[in-house]
């Protein structure tokens, strides 16, 4: 009986050591450990073992059973670890397959804003931002547009508070010129109540006006505002800056012109037009990009800046108009309808 058990252990362990697949392991388990297996069969002979040998044979039998079971568990762990490692093996040199998935990208307006900030950045303008929810102090009063001015008419603005019952009604801004005021206020605060350094910023952002939508108008659009304050800034600097901008952004043959105009916050004021061909079948025509001028001394005073010491120019252009000119987009509505067939083209 003892010999039978010993040989069972020997052959069992040696056969198990040759096992390398889950199927072979299962066959081994059935052969040795299962109810119909060799171990059970050997144990059946225990009843015939002489009584005095029973404790020793019994102990040895338990040892062999434990040894075979432990060896089985160990092998099982090795084989399943191997299978997992195999499953995870990836050939990194395999070429990937090109999926039909398309990649997103920034909207054309966002890209134009980035390009404009880059071009003005090269001319020394930092980028400033301001809130879209404004008050009439920044949208009007400090821009020299006092109470009663026609530009404040509720027909032409999106007021949040009624301008009839509120002294300081809030509104969603109708122009990015609000940021000029905020930047000047912040610089004066920084200087302890006076302006102590030049200001040179551009500020892109959304503006809102209850305009009727057509090919060149929308109730929401984007502007880029510019402000340059220093000692001895002249109209020539304004003209040069705008010409340089036009050539850098639209190309050396860009045609621009300044037309005398009026804005409450600049004196003198001008409008910047650019010759743009919006449709290939139509001749290029003059399109108004926005306004500009020398900052009115009244605005500087309202912001706590001494107009005897500081002066400069400002401008505010429509970004959609610039995008339309730069990329030949004939209708502003295309920019907001988000038709993928259009967005993929530009
Ligand atoms: N804020 C003006 C508008 O929306 C545009 C403008 C004109 C901005 C002259 C300026 C400027 O900074 O100097 O129509």
Convert the pLDDT of each residue in 200-249 to its tens digit: 999 999 999 999 999 889 999 999 999 999 999 999 999 999 999 999 99
Domain boundary among 54, 85, 116: 85
Residues forming a β-bridge with 315:
226, 292
| 18 lies in some domain | yes
Task: Cite the DSSP H helix spans in the chain.
Answer: 2-18, 22-32, 38-44, 54-87, 108-122, 136-139, 177-190, 235-250, 297-302, 319-327, 334-337, 340-343
Q: What residues of the chain score a pLDDT lower than 70?
A: 98-99
CA 8/CA 43 separation, integer angstroms: 11
3 state SS of 216: coil
Q: Are residues 124 and 218 in the same domain?
A: yes
Of 238, 291, 293, the residue with max ligand 1 atoms within 8 A of its CB, to mutate for a pocket test, comes to 291
Provide the pLDDT for residue 114. Answer: 98
Provide the pLDDT for residue 74. Answer: 92
Domain total of the chain: 2
Q: Are residues 311 and 207 in the same domain?
A: yes
CA 164 – ligand 1 centroid, Å: 26
The closest-lying atom of ligand 1 relative to the alpha carbon of residue 175 is 4
The closest-lying atom of ligand 1 relative to the alpha carbon of residue 290 is 5
- 158: its two tokens: 């999106």
Q: Are residues 272 and 172 in the same domain?
A: yes
Q: Are residues 143 and 78 in the same domain?
A: no
Domain boundary among 85, 118, 151: 85
Which residues form ligand 1's pocket by a CB distance below 6 Å?
A: 175, 177, 225, 263, 266, 290-293, 314-316
| 101 lies in some domain | no
| 301 lies in some domain | yes
Q: Are residues 247 and 166 in the same domain?
A: yes
| 244 lies in some domain | yes
CATH code, 112: 3.30.930.10
Q: Are residues 274 and 146 in the same domain?
A: yes
Using alpha carbons, select from 244, 221, 267, 250 the residue that is nearest to residue 125: 244
Burial of 43 (0-12, 13-18, 19+ CB in 10 A): middle
Of 290, 300, 312, 317, the residue with max ligand 1 atoms within 8 A of its CB, to mutate for a pocket test, comes to 290
- Output the pTM of the full model: 0.72
Provide the pLDDT for residue 115. Answer: 97
CA 261/CA 164 separation, integer angstroms: 30
Q: Are residues 125 and 79 in the same domain?
A: no
- What range defines the domain where residue 151 resides? 108-343
Provide the pLDDT for residue 244. Answer: 96
| 171 lies in some domain | yes
| 96 lies in some domain | no
**Residue nearest ligand 1's atom 7 by CA:** 291
CA 250 – ligand 1 centroid, Å: 21
CA 256/CA 99 separation, integer angstroms: 46
Q: Are residues 258 and 173 in the same domain?
A: yes
CA 162 – ligand 1 centroid, Å: 25
Q: Are residues 54 and 179 in the same domain?
A: no
Apex 62 CA angle, 59 and 65, nearest 5: 150
Provide the pLDDT for residue 40. Answer: 87
Q: Are residues 120 and 66 in the same domain?
A: no
Q: Are residues 189 and 314 in the same domain?
A: yes
What residues have CB less than 8 Å from 156, skipping those under 6 apart?
174, 209, 210
CA 194 – ligand 1 centroid, Å: 25
Burial of 61 (0-12, 13-18, 19+ CB in 10 A): buried
Of 157, 173, 174, 175, the residue with max ligand 1 atoms within 8 A of its CB, to mutate for a pocket test, comes to 175
Provide the pLDDT for residue 3. Answer: 86
CA 296/CA 307 separation, integer angstroms: 9
**Residue nearest ligand 1's atom 8 by CA:** 316
Domain boundary among 50, 85, 120: 85
CA 62/CA 257 separation, integer angstroms: 104
**Residue nearest ligand 1's atom 12 by CA:** 315
| 145 lies in some domain | yes
Over residues 15-62, the pLDDT tens digits come to 999 998 999 999 999 999 988 888 888 888 888 888 898 898 889 889
Provide the pLDDT for residue 120. Answer: 98
The closest-lying atom of ligand 1 relative to the alpha carbon of residue 295 is 13
Q: Are residues 30 and 174 in the same domain?
A: no
| 91 lies in some domain | no
Provide the pLDDT for residue 317. Answer: 98
């Amino acid at each position: 009986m003892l010999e039978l058990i010993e040989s069972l252990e020997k052959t069992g362990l040696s056969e198990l050591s040759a096992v390398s697949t889950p199927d072979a392991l299962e066959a081994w388990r059935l052969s040795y450990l299962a109810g119909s297996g060799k171990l059970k069969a050997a144990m059946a002979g225990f009843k015939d073992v002489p009584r005095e040998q029973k404790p020793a044979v019994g102990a040895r039998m338990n040892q062999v059973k434990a040894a075979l079971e432990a060896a089985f568990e160990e092998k099982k762990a090795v084989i399943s670890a191997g299978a997992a490692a195999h499953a995870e093996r990836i050939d990194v040199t395999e070429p990937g397959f090109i999926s039909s998935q398309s990649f997103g990208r920034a909207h054309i307006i966002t890209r134009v804003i980035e390009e404009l900030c880059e071009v003005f950045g090269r001319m020394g303008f930092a980028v400033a931002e301001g809130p879209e929810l404004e008050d009439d102090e920044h949208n009007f009063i400090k821009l020299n547009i006092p109470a009663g001015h026609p530009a404040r008419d509720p027909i032409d603005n999106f007021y949040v508070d009624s301008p009839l019952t509120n002294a300081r009604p809030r509104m969603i801004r109708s122009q990015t010129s609000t940021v000029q005021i905020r930047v000047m206020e912040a610089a004066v605060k920084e200087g302890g109540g006076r302006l102590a350094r030049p200001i040179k910023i551009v500020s892109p952002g959304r503006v809102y006006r209850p305009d009727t939508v057509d090919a060149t108008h929308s109730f929401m659009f984007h502007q880029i505002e510019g402000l340059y304050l220093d000692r001895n800034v002249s109209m020539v600097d304004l003209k040069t800056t705008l010409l340089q901008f036009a050539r850098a952004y639209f190309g050396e043959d860009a045609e621009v012109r300044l037309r005398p105009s009026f804005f409450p916050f600049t004196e003198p004021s001008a409008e910047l037009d650019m010759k743009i061909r919006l449709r290939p079948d139509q001749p290029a025509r003059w399109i108004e990009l926005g306004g500009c001028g020398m900052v009115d001394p009244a605005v500087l005073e309202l912001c706590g800046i001494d107009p005897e010491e500081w002066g400069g120019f400002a401008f505010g252009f429509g970004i959609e108009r610039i995008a339309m000119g730069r990329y030949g987009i004939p209708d502003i509505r295309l920019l907001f309808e988000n038709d993928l067939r259009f967005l993929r083209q530009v």
